[in-house]
Chains A and B, each alone.
Chain A
């Protein structure tokens, strides 16, 4: 008995492979109720009676041809790695189609155990499967399982161990391809066996079959073999003969033979109800995939998701905002300095700003997990598939795009399901337009800041609109690319509609938590690092504030002298106002003179037509590290340059009251964030998957940036037509005079000589070498951040 075994899980997409993998290994791989979730192979190790068993979850495939990436991954693994057993997961309620893969696995010569999964569902539909009979007919071990209820796992594992150890006696049950073909196969096998190494690695019969099917990968292998001249001559002869007899190609004849084998086995071992009952799934599908109702229902599902996100997520979000404000307040006793600024403005302002949205993210992921696990997302893909086909794109393209609602990186990997290079490239180009979860905090921040007075329905409409805009743009751009850069035709695709399942509470919670945990992990790693880096960029080198520091000293000296003769609260308030205004002015000057400030100022001419200023420019630049950082950077900007008395206010309020911004600008910024280039990690994945060709990567950067600019420009300037103002109705306007100037006009006490520090307008002017208390030469920098016109 081998001490170490390898079991591979193979099956059609959505047959429940990943669920069984999770049950066996105990992992929590993402399980989605739509085809194409597993693109890469995953593996896990378990121990059984001291033996180590590696379980490998192969990508879902319908067959083992070499047309798509997942088929190649699955096939190469079985041929090259030679797992001890292939556990073939089949959907018991859809046996005929699933067994096609089983037959191909048998052709490969693999040791197979068939898991008759979703056995209960088949039972509910009145389908009775005689597993023992099927075992005899197929010549493979058959074990009924119910993956989502964790049933049949131990028998499955034991059957696999028995097959691996050769303890399970199974009949031969050869697959017959018809007399004509069988005769030819015998000849071809003899020739193929001439290359002993290749024949041993792949099996001579399999090589002969694949060569007849004109399997590209196998033919390429054979072309390099010494037997190829003889084999190719024989193949031509066979093909001609078969065409003469059947008037069809060899691959069709082979496929027919396989289906014939399956049909026979199923007829023998499966009993179906006589009447054709309409299942509950069928009834629901009649409505949700209806030609006219399908799209509105999809939009309604999205709208309800966002409404739920806002309504329920808003409450704990408020708690978190209060918590971070309180946390920042804990540092008040700490002496002012770089370290305090780093902790309060950089870490709490940046990371806290992002973490504040955690409840909303959780709510969104909860809703998406429910839609996925119930099977609705597959219907959404089905509905969109029609639209995609109309624009000449492969129906499979929408699956990566739906994945993109969560994160762009797996969406890019999911394009591997597209076998055609052009289809794949188009899908990769448009997938980043789907709004990923990281962009949600930006939308919520802006909607909360500028549309807070509107109803919850209005806010949900706006958010749905942004997501729909992403989908519409993706479709339009796909059409443009199809007609210009990458012409071709979309291949037909059978979109599977898995039966609806009531999601398990545990399953939905696990999926939600997994995604939520990634958000937290990202906040604690990349967002923390980027916040610190951008804090440094926004702090150094700083401005020359000597004049203002002197003014501050004078304000303090004046107050110290005045408080002796005037102990009123009015003086105290006047002093605090003057001091605060001076401190804010210095902070604003520091920010503007910083590295990031200079870069932002450099960007301003390009983004000003969109209603953005240099601070938005810095945030968008930081958003390239991760989209959530747009929010984090805004948090740091307002924390560094914010008003003393407003430091505890949530970021939403601070931005909402800023006269430099408006609801129209917020709309333009949401549109820009949706479209402009994806984050660094997504770009790295994109570059790799595009074959590391810089030409395409640079094209992606150029087209997303240009499209973002044009769309944001349109949004900003067309917004008033939809009742979205270009001015901020709730802005706090800038005061005309600087409070410290009036404070310093307090007369010096009569009984003491006016000291040099106790400035009067006349006395401090020459000392400071500035024309007035309000330096006219630099009027803009007088305004604290958040109050700039």
Chain B
């Protein structure tokens, strides 16, 4: 059981890291450049702005 959990975590980590590298390498201009390491490709302040917009409304 322990081995299964550990293997799942390792596979997930490798997969996530690979995906992140792919996103960083293929990020378009203006997208998140992955400075923080997330490589999500999203505007890092999007959530904050959405919240601000909602408040303004």
Contacts and interface: CB of A to CB of B under 8 A. Distances in A.
A78 B56 CA distance: 27
Contact of A681 (B39, B45, B48, B49): B39
Interface in A7-44: 25-29, 40-41, 44
Interface string A45-58: 11100000000000
Given A45-B49, A532-B9, A680-B21, A409 B33 contact: yes
A160 interface: no
Interface stretch (A362-370, A518-526, A706-714): A518-526
A527 interface: yes
Contacts of B49: 25-27, 44-45
Contacts of A413: 33
Contacts of B20: 525-526, 529
B12 to A, nearest CB: 8
Contacts of B33: 409-410, 413, 681, 685
Nearest to B16: A529
Contacts of A680: 21, 24
Interface string B1-36: 011011001100110110011001100011001111
B38 A521 contact: yes
Contacts of A532: 9-10, 13
Contacts of A528: 13
B53 A409 contact: no
A409 B35 contact: yes
B6 A28 contact: no
Given A27-B49, A45-B49, A521 B6 contact: no
Interface string A398-429: 00000000010110010000000000000000
Given A342-B6, A626-B37, A681-B35, A46 B45 contact: no
Interface in A578-599: none
A530 interface: yes
Interface residues of B, number: 30
Nearest to B20: A526
A315 interface: no
A684 B25 contact: yes
B16 to A, nearest CB: 6
B34 A40 contact: no
Contact of B56 (A47, A339, A525): A47
B53 A684 contact: no
B15 to A, nearest CB: 9
A273 interface: no
Nearest to B49: A44
A657 B42 CA distance: 45
A626 B17 CA distance: 12
Contact of A536 (B10, B35, B36): B10
Nearest to A44: B49
Nearest to A27: B45
A684 B21 CA distance: 9
A217 interface: no
A342 B13 CA distance: 12
B14 A533 contact: yes
B18 to A, nearest CB: 10
Interface residues of A, number: 39
Main secondary structure of the interface of A (DSSP, over half): helix
Nearest to A540: B10
Interface string A656-699: 00000000000000000000000011001101100000000000
B35 A407 contact: yes
A41 B30 contact: yes
Nearest to B57: A47
Nearest to A537: B10
A338 B9 CA distance: 12
Most B-side CB within 10 Å, residue of A407, A410, A684: A684
A723 interface: no
Given A522-B37, A681-B34, A25 B52 contact: yes
Given A409-B34, A525-B38, A681-B37, A533 B53 contact: no
Nearest to B25: A684
Contacts of B13: 528-529, 532-533
A49 to B, nearest CB: 11
Contacts of B30: 40-41
A61 to B, nearest CB: 18
Contacts of B36: 518, 521-522, 525
Nearest to B54: A47
Interface string A252-281: 000000000000000000000000000000
A140 B39 CA distance: 42
B21 to A, nearest CB: 7
A338 B38 contact: no
Contacts of A536: 10
Nearest to A339: B2
Contacts of A333: none
B29 to A, nearest CB: 7
Contacts of B52: 25-27, 46
A533 B6 contact: no
Most A-side CB within 10 Å, residue of B3, B48, B49: B49
A529 B37 CA distance: 11
A337 interface: yes
Contact of A27 (B3, B29, B38, B48): B48
Interface in A266-311: none
Most A-side CB within 10 Å, residue of B35, B38, B49: B35
Nearest to B1: A339
14 contacts: A25-B49, A26-B56, A27-B49, A46-B56, A47-B57, A339-B6, A342-B6, A522-B37, A526-B37, A528-B13, A529-B16, A536-B10, A681-B24, A681-B33
Interface of A: 25-29, 40-41, 44-47, 337-339, 342, 407, 409-410, 413, 518, 521-522, 525-530, 532-533, 536, 625-626, 680-681, 684-685, 687-688
Given A40-B30, A410-B35, A684-B24, 10 more contacts: A27-B52, A29-B45, A45-B49, A342-B6, A410-B33, A521-B37, A525-B20, A525-B36, A525-B38, A625-B17
Closest 7 CB pairs of A and B: A526-B37, A522-B37, A26-B52, A532-B13, A518-B36, A529-B13, A339-B2
